[in-house]
Amino acid sequence: MGYSTKTVTTANYQEMVGASFNSVGAEALDIQDITLVGGSATGGSWIKWWNPASKTYSDKVVYANPLCDPVTDDDLDYGGWGDEVNWYPTTKTFAPGEGFWFSPNKANVGITTAGAVENTVNPYVGRTVDTANQQIMVLNAFPTTLDIQSIVLDGDTATGGSWIKWWDSASKTYSDKVVYANPLCDPVTDDDLDYGGWGDEVNWYPTTKSFDVGEGFWFSPNKGGVTICFPNPFYVAPVEP
């Protein structure tokens, strides 16, 4: 069991966050297991997610208390996430590592995901993109800080065509694209290094970046069937008999 909270310090700012956990007993995180810390449940704080197939966002889903019964329109005896118009409860699950946008209606509001930590069987946990150049919202899939150079791609040729970029909510701008390349290049001598990873799009110089717990970003591969893989800090290597 565990939890993580991503706090937005300014009202109406958008942050790219997402699901760091499974719901207990399930393979994905139920939207109703996501809560606000320090926010008011008056329908002003919202989330929305990206559909890479249709290249569109969902409608905003707001945090409200009480939610409303979709049959009788009576108030329910609980709050949570509902549609923006009627506050009817929303049905949605997020896979570990799946991102979405979050915006609070007041400053210093956190969004908390809680549930079961990813299993210890797999050294990496990933999300696969079936179509070349398709963008998906992903994030650090675990409740620990993630170094960009520890992210690897499975099925990619590391020729600089696959990229990630992240959102700066303060400046309201995206970073430049950071590409997956092998070998990376020494920023002093311009010689090839003896390893690959993530670098700038022009020179393939190694990028320095860490993603906070719950921080999201965009990912797009240059071919179909590529999996972006996050190292599992809870992985336990099997003991040799």
pLDDT at 117 over 70: no
Structure token pair of residue 2: 């565990």
Tens digit of pLDDT for each residue in 98-107? 889 999 988 8
CB-neighbour burial class of residue 191 (10 A; exposed 0-12, middle 13-18, buried 19+): exposed
Tell me if 105 sits within 8 A of 45, measured CB to CB.
Answer: yes
Q: Which of 185, 186, 167, 188 is nearest to 176 (CA)?
A: 167
Alpha-carbon distance 225 to 154, whole Å? 9
Alpha-carbon distance 167 to 99, whole Å? 12
Band of pLDDT at residue 232, cut at 50, 70 and 90: confident
Band of pLDDT at residue 96, cut at 50, 70 and 90: confident
144 vs 230, higher pLDDT: 230
Q: How large a percentage of the chain has pLDDT more than 90?
A: 55
Structure token pair of residue 54: 């249709």
Alpha-carbon distance 143 to 20, whole Å? 6
Beta-bridged to residue 226, according to DSSP, are: 129
Strands 42-48 and 61-64, by their bridges, are antiparallel
Band of pLDDT at residue 171, cut at 50, 70 and 90: confident
What are phi and psi for residue 150, nearest 5 degrees?
A: -90, -5
pLDDT at 118 over 80: no
Tens digit of pLDDT for each residue in 184-202? 999 999 999 999 999 999 9
* Mean model confidence pLDDT for the chain: 87
Categorise residue 121: left if φ over 0, alpha if ψ from -120 to 50, beta otherwise. Answer: alpha
Structure token pair of residue 18: 């997402």
**pTM, to two decimals:** 0.80
